[in-house]
Amino acid sequence: MSRILRSSIQQVFVFAALILIYIFFMIFAPNFAQPTIALDIVQQSAYVGVMALGATFVIATGGIDLSVGTGMTFAAVMAGVFLSGDWMNLPLAAGLLLTLLVGAVVGLINGLNISYLGLPPFIATLAMMMVARGLALVISDKSTISIKNSGYIWLASGELIPGVKNAILIFIIMAIIAAVLLNKTLLGRYALAIGSNEEATRLSGVNVKFWKTMVYIAAGVFMALGAILYSARFGFVQPAEGVGFELNVIAAVVIGGTSLSGGRANIIGTVVGALIMETLRKGLQMMGIAQEWQLVVTGIVVLIAVFVDIVRRKRQSTV
């Protein structure tokens, strides 16, 4: 069975899972069948989905990024510093560019630690997770930062197309960009090659350290854009948030068919995976399930996704 056919079958199964979950909540969750709920799910999943798009490249290399949640909070805090009237109050374009640069720097540090210092991705990004959280709390002085820039809030909550929030449009555009990067550029090609066989890729003349670092930088930029969408929804940043968001991001990627062992990635699957995670959250919330049990369900979903990935790899290795 060809890789393209396997990927297509995987996409069908993931999309079917989304439909079944949605139908389940339409039956058992009060008011879930309202048309506005579907748009709300897509909008709410936008920030996690965008970050998951970047994490797809990292996981495709066989790596992991545990810093994506607190890194997002740190980038959002810096967006508040750049754009808040109580802080630097920069023009919108400058603030957005600097926020994306913050994400790129976080990714660069992760990439350098992993590629050039040889630290395991788990350890390097775990350390960055703690550093990012600490910096967010220190810089904000543990206080909420309000971002009253109307243009900033419009990025997520405005409607360039009537009835469709801008966050949804940005999510779609970034998914298209991620798909092009993965399938049509050296970044995606080498990310998959590194994940399939890093040593063979290095022996073929590819600068593995450089390209792996570039993958983490790209993931950092996606993370920062997710931070912008997240904080722009409400117009404020709470520096203590972000812990645990990495679980939803990684779950979306793995559910979507990207292998934790590397070498295989699926952008469409990641988008659907993000929608599945948000559908679960929204549906359980509307059923009145306590947040603690929502976390239990999320953890079980992650375990199932990883188990399916392991089974799939074993079957492919025997073909």
DSSP states along 195-240: HH-HHHHHHTT--HHHHHHHHHHHHHHHHHHHHHHHHHTTTEE-TT
- When comparing pLDDT for 311 and 122, which is higher? 122
Quote the number of domains for the chain. Answer: 1
Q: Is the pLDDT of residue 8 over 80?
A: no
Q: Is the pLDDT of residue 29 over 70?
A: yes
Q: Quick check: is 275 in a domain?
A: yes
Q: Quick check: is 63 in a domain?
A: yes
Percent of all residues in the chain with a pLDDT value above 70, rounded to a whole number: 96
Q: Quick check: is 1 in a domain?
A: no
C-alpha distances in Å from residue 54, one per residue of 27, 68, 117, 174, 288: 34, 10, 22, 10, 32
Rounded to an integer, the average pLDDT of 122-140 is 96
- 24's CB contacts (< 8 A; 6+ apart) are 283
- When comparing pLDDT for 175 and 8, which is higher? 175
Q: For residue 310, what pLDDT band results from cuts at 50, 70 and 90?
A: confident
Q: What are the tokens at 61? A: 């290399």
Structural domain that includes position 80: 43-313
Q: Which residue has the tokens 């900033």?
A: 152
Measured distance between the N- and C-terminal CA atoms of the chain, rounded to whole angstroms: 9
CATH code of the domain covering residue 117: 1.10.3470
Q: Quick check: is 33 in a domain?
A: no
Q: What is the DSSP string of 22-54?
A: HHHHHHHSTTTTSHHHHHHHHHHTHHHHHHHHH
Task: Identify each DSSP E strand in the chain by its residue range.
Answer: 145-146, 236-237
Q: Quick check: is 256 in a domain?
A: yes
Q: Is the pLDDT of residue 2 over 60?
A: no
Rounded to an integer, the average pLDDT of 29-39 is 89
Q: Quick check: is 20 in a domain?
A: no
Rounded to an integer, the average pLDDT of 95-111 is 98
Give the pTM: 0.93
Q: Is the pLDDT of residue 30 over 90?
A: no
Q: Where is average pLDDT lowest: 1-5, 176-180, 289-293?
A: 1-5
pLDDT at 184: 96
Rounded to an integer, the average pLDDT of 112-118 is 97
Percent of all residues in the chain with a pLDDT value above 90, rounded to a whole number: 72
Q: Quick check: is 35 in a domain?
A: no
C-alpha–C-alpha distance, residues 248 and 45, integer Å: 10
C-alpha distances in Å from residue 248, one per residue of 34, 125, 179, 313: 25, 16, 20, 22
- When comparing pLDDT for 266 and 302, which is higher? 266
Q: pLDDT for 192-245, tens place per residue?
A: 999 999 999 999 999 999 999 999 999 999 999 999 999 998 888 999 888 889
Q: For residue 319, what pLDDT band results from cuts at 50, 70 and 90?
A: low
What is the rounded average pLDDT for all residues in the chain? 91
C-alpha–C-alpha distance, residues 64 and 60, integer Å: 9
Q: Quick check: is 318 in a domain?
A: no
pLDDT at 154: 94
pLDDT at 317: 62
90: phi then psi, degrees, rounded to nearest 5: -75, 160
Rounded to an integer, the average pLDDT of 165-174 is 96
pLDDT at 304: 83
